[in-house]
């Protein structure tokens, strides 16, 4: 048996590299959102733990302050780093901020309920409950955040219809060749 001294390197394999590039390109917003979402969730968790465990503030007060701080950071992350392709340019930053916080306030309800039930009723560890809370609320937030920062899918459908119409007009405008 002849041993090949070359070690397998996934980055040198063109098929794997091509697949990775397609996955990243296709799911870029989700991957970047998860990275910045983790940072926002970490910020939320740290602020909550400091306020609730160290400063002994009430659950709802700690949770709401952590919510506001982490969501302001999340808005900036999403606008500047996450949703940079197919961006909604029809609405101002203030309009997007209002839409963003409208959706996020909706998520504050289950966020607060999870914290209250987990800590007050079930007596679970605050950090564990907050982590579970951030994962569940994070999924909802991703779905709603996309609708705030990205141009609506209907616009893309309208562009596709327009392209089809233009291409069919080009075909019908071609004159048959005379022999």
- Give domain status of residue 44, yes or no: yes
- Give domain status of residue 19, yes or no: no
Residue 130's domain comprises 24-167
Give the pLDDT confidence of 114-173 residue by residue, as tens digits: 999 999 999 999 999 999 999 999 888 887 777 766 655 555 556 666 777 777 776 666
- Give domain status of residue 149, yes or no: yes
**Number of structural domains the chain divides into:** 1
- Give domain status of residue 90, yes or no: yes
Give the pLDDT confidence of 67-119 residue by residue, as tens digits: 999 999 998 888 887 766 656 677 788 888 888 888 889 899 999 999 999 99
Burial of 175 (0-12, 13-18, 19+ CB in 10 A): exposed
Give the pLDDT confidence of 11-62 residue by residue, as tens digits: 678 888 888 788 777 777 778 888 989 999 999 999 999 999 999 999 999 9
- Give domain status of residue 158, yes or no: yes
Which pair of structure tokens corresponds to residue 59?
Answer: 């659950």
More confident residue, 160 or 2: 160
- Give domain status of residue 105, yes or no: yes
Whether residue 65 contacts residue 44, with contact meaning beta carbons closer than 8 Å, is answered with no
- Give domain status of residue 141, yes or no: yes
Whether residue 47 contacts residue 63, with contact meaning beta carbons closer than 8 Å, is answered with no
- Give domain status of residue 28, yes or no: yes
Whether residue 142 contacts residue 83, with contact meaning beta carbons closer than 8 Å, is answered with no
């Amino acid at each position: 048996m002849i041993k090949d001294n070359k070690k397998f390197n996934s980055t040198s394999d063109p098929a794997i590299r091509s697949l990775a590039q397609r996955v990243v390109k296709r799911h870029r917003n989700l991957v970047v959102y998860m990275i910045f979402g983790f940072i926002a969730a970490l910020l939320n968790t740290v602020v909550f733990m400091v306020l609730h465990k160290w400063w002994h503030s009430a659950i709802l007060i700690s949770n709401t302050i952590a919510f506001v701080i982490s969501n302001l950071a999340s808005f900036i992350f999403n606008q500047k780093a996450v949703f940079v392709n197919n961006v909604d340019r029809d609405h101002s930053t203030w309009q997007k901020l209002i839409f963003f916080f409208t959706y996020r306030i909706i998520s504050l309800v289950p966020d607060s309920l999870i914290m209250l039930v987990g800590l007050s009723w079930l007596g679970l560890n605050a950090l564990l409950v907050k982590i579970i809370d951030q994962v569940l609320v994070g999924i909802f937030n991703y779905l709603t955040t996309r609708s705030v920062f990205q141009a609506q899918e209907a616009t893309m459908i309208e562009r596709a219809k327009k392209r089809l119409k233009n291409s069919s007009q080009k075909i019908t405008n071609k004159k048959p060749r005379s022999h």
